[in-house]
Amino acid sequence: MDHSLLRHAGIKATFPRMKILDIFYQHAGLHMSAADVYRSLISDRSNIGLATVYRVITQLEGIGLLKRTQLDAHTTVYELNDKGHHDHLVCTHCGRILESSDPAMAQLVRKIAKRSGFLLDSYSLVLYGGCGCRQGAPTPSHGEFE
Ligand SMILES: [Zn+2]
Ligand SMILES: [Zn+2]
């Protein structure tokens, strides 16, 4: 990857920053928690501690290279911030994360904010359900919101 991204953002290209950013480029398209990044560093034999991982990820998010999504009260995932806004669909059985980008949804959100006189900075939409991984399992055919 291009480490000049860090210099352009005005922060030093230290080893942990370059290494952690590399992990995200190696797993482009994936959503990773700090623990996922940490595990990946261990299998890479990198001597970077979990506290450093948290700190660096927060810095990379702060300069706009990573995008953070709060999936639930306990799970925060990060991904490269290179695709523009999209929403997430999370499978509550297998943890799979799908993405969706629908201009109609963005429009609706802006409309809702405007109607309330709310100045919208950003929004985050997460849909929970099943991705189809449990086909054959005795699950009800309709979700609560169908
Ligand atoms: Zn699934
Ligand atoms: Zn995503």
Ligand nearest to the CA of 129: 1
Q: Are residues 101 and 50 in the same domain?
A: no
- Do the annotations mark residue 133 as ligand-binding? yes
- Would the pLDDT of 57 be above 80? yes
CATH number, domain containing residue 126: 3.30.1490.190
Identify residues whose C-beta is under 5 A from ligand 2, the ion: 79, 99
CA dihedral 82, 52, 10, 40 (to 10 degrees): -30
Q: Are residues 99 and 75 in the same domain?
A: no
Q: Which of 83, 106, 123 lies at the terminal end of a domain, its last residue?
A: 83
Q: Are residues 77 and 109 in the same domain?
A: no
The total of structural domains in the chain comes to 2
Q: Are residues 67 and 104 in the same domain?
A: no
The DSSP secondary structure of 66-134, one letter per residue, reads EEEEE-SSS-EEEEES-S---EEEEETTT--EEEE--HHHHHHHHHHHHHTT--------EEEE--STT
Cβ-Cβ contacts under 8 Å for 23 (sequence gap 6 or more): 32, 37, 40, 41, 44
Least confident range of 29-43, 104-118, 123-137? 123-137
Report how far ligand 1's centroid is from the alpha carbon of 111 (Å). 32
Q: Are residues 111 and 75 in the same domain?
A: no
Per the structure, the complete domain to which residue 113 belongs is given by 85-133
Helix or strand holding residue 25 (H, E):
helix 15-26
Report how far ligand 1's centroid is from the alpha carbon of 98 (Å). 10
CATH number, domain containing residue 29: 1.10.10.10
Report how far ligand 2's centroid is from the alpha carbon of 85 (Å). 8
- Residue 144 within any structural domain of the chain: no
Q: Are residues 20 and 74 in the same domain?
A: yes
Per-residue model confidence as pLDDT tens digits over 71-87: 988 899 999 998 888 99
Beta bridge partners of 128: 90
Q: Are residues 27 and 73 in the same domain?
A: yes
- What's the pLDDT band for 49 if we cut at 50, 70, 90? very high
More confident residue, 5 or 112: 112
CA-closest candidate to residue 30, choices 118, 82, 97, 123: 97
Q: Are residues 20 and 56 in the same domain?
A: yes
Ligand nearest to the CA of 96: 1
